[in-house]
């Protein structure tokens, strides 16, 4: 295994800095799998999971995991927005750009264009590519696979993660400068894994993602050996476009809920309450109009009219 430099950068009034990545396993051809996290510098779950995965796979190559064998090259970039991560900022601090709006990038361009270009150079040749994200600061998402305009092989492969939900979305016709759009031009199979919320680290989501990635590595034959996870398998539920219902606030107040993401709700079930922040009076009881899987819920209590309260995946 090797730690390699993705990009070396200089800055006007500080020492140089690098974005590094792991190149793990044998082989001269292209990597079989490429994993990316931390395009957004405040999404810590993916960064932690990929750094742990790199340590785990490195341990495999050194014989520290008896019975396991890594058969193909895997490249892992745990922290793309290296400066944003130091200050828990989503965007690149120097110019406040979103690195996931800079693809395919440009080798001779501005800093974030060069970062995007370098990320593509390393990840593009891989057969399987995975980009990890969290929801924003105010909203928690279930650990799940997100597919954008997938092909049939991607639909089939997405089940190998063993995560409780695979959710299809249409590609955004406005934001065509994401890594996902850029990866599509290379072929292969592309996945987004999303879990938890930004600004902090949720260990239960991290554990889930780690198990999912190891399961995928094993089921695609990249990692050989007895199953690493001893956890019982959960059913995978597949939701296509049109099977997502959004609950949006029609009044303001303090939104309070103790529901966990990943639970099944029935139409008419309570999702939470909205209270008046001054006199504490209950202003509304928020109920779901549909039955389904609660795939996301608001964690920020300050609620304005029009804010997203929850997402429910319907059957």
Q: Which residues are near Zn ion by CB under 5 A?
A: 40, 43, 133
Distance of closest approach, residue 22 Cβ to Zn ion, in angstroms: 20
Q: Cβ distance 282 to 267 under 8 Å?
A: no
- Alpha-carbon distances of 125 from 2, 75, 108, 112, rounded to whole Å: 18, 11, 21, 21
Identity of the residue, 133 or 298, whose beta carbon is nearer to Zn ion in the bound complex = 133
Q: How far is the CB of 139 from Zn ion (least distance, A)?
A: 12
> Which neighbouring-strand residues pair with 164?
none
Nearer to Zn ion, 131 or 154 (CB): 131
Note whether 272 and 309 are within 8 A (CB). yes
- Report how far residue 78's alpha carbon sits from residue 133's, in angstroms, rounded to the nearest whole number: 11
Per the document, the length of the chain is: 315
Q: What is the CA radius of gyration of the chain?
A: 20
Q: Which is nearer to Zn ion, 40 or 146 (CB)?
A: 40
Residues 6+ apart with CB under 8 A from 66: none
- Closer of 101 and 184 to Zn ion (Cβ): 101
Query: DSSP class of residue 228?
Result: S
Q: How far is the CB of 178 from Zn ion (least distance, A)?
A: 10
**Which DSSP string corresponds to 76-118?**
EES-SSHHHHHTT-SSBTTTTB-GGGSTT--TTS-HHHHHHHH
* Structure tokens belonging to residue 69: 């064998």
Nearer to Zn ion, 146 or 237 (CB): 146
Nearer to Zn ion, 22 or 40 (CB): 40
User: From the CB of 181, what's the least distance to Zn ion, in Å?
Assistant: 14
Closest distance to Zn ion from the beta carbon of 219 (Å): 26
Q: How far is the CB of 62 from Zn ion (least distance, A)?
A: 32
Quick one: angle between helices 44-61 and 203-219, nearest 10?
Answer: 40
Closest among 295, 297, 309 to 250, alpha carbons compared: 309
> Could you tell me the smallest distance in angstroms from the CB atom of residue 40 to Zn ion?
4
Nearer to Zn ion by C-beta: 40 or 129?
Answer: 40
């Amino acid at each position: 295994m090797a730690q390699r430099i993705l990009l070396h950068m200089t800055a006007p009034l500080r020492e140089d800095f690098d974005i590094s990545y792991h190149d793990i396993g044998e082989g001269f051809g292209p990597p079989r799998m490429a994993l990316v996290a931390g395009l957004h510098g405040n999404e810590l779950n993916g960064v932690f999971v990929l750094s742990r995965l790199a340590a785990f796979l490195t341990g495999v190559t050194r014989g520290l995991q008896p019975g396991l064998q890594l058969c193909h090259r895997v490249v892992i970039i745990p922290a793309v927005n290296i400066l944003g991560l130091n200050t828990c900022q989503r965007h690149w601090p120097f110019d406040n750009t979103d690195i996931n709006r800079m693809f395919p990038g440009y080798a001779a361009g501005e800093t974030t264009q060069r970062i995007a270009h370098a990320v593509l150079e390393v990840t593009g040749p891989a057969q399987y590519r995975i980009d990890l994200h969290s929801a924003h600061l105010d909203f928690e998402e279930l650990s799940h696979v997100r597919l954008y305009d997938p092909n049939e092989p991607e639909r089939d492969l997405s089940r190998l993660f063993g995560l409780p939900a695979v959710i299809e979305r249409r590609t955004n016709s406005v934001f065509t400068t994401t890594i996902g759009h850029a990866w599509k031009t290379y072929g292969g199979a592309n996945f987004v894994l999303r879990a938890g919320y930004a600004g902090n680290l949720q260990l239960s989501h991290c554990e889930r993602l780690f198990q999912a990635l190891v399961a995928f590595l094993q089921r695609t034959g990249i990692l050989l050996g007895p199953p690493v996870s001893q956890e019982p398998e959960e059913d995978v539920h597949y939701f296509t476009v049109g099977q997502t219902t959004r609950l949006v606030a029609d009044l303001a107040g303090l939104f309070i809920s103790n529901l966990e993401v990943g639970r099944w709700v029935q139409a008419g079930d309570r999702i939470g309450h909205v209270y008046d922040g001054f006199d504490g009076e209950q202003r509304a009881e928020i109920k779901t109009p549909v039955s389904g899987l609660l795939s996301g819920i608001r964690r920020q209590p300050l609620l304005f009219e029009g804010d997203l309260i929850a997402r429910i995946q319907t059957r």
